[in-house]
Amino acid sequence: MTLGNNAPKLEEVVSNIIHSGIEITGQALTMPKIVSGEIFDRLIKPVFLPKLPFQYRREIKVALYMFKYINISGSLPSSMEFLRDTIGMEEHPDVSGVIYSNVKNILENELLKASV
């Protein structure tokens, strides 16, 4: 599902994730620095990526693959009209609420994995 021009920007999504994490865990979290793809590719990736354990490198490579869909200029066309017309789905009015629920579920699942 895409929201077209109503989609939140990357900085807004990251900010919502950080604020959700603070509210859920009570831990102090800070907003990460978001750098351009060019800076990452020229300075960060060649220096730090090779030094990481294989599992982390693999996960970062998957994230980098997905990042090309997040870091685009402009908006993807909205699929809401199609979804509304075909299955009656309405746009979720509270994107930050959806992010909060996802962060909470992720943290709860990680706690469950850690306790096993």
The pLDDT of residue 93 = 67
Segment among 25-29, 72-76, 106-110 with least mean pLDDT: 72-76
Question: Taking the model in full, what pTM does it have?
Answer: 0.63
The pLDDT of residue 82 = 83
Nearest CA to 11 out of 38, 33, 37 is that of: 33
Please check the confidence at residue 27 and state whether its pLDDT lies above 80: yes
The pLDDT of residue 70 = 66
Two tokens, residue 11: 């900085």
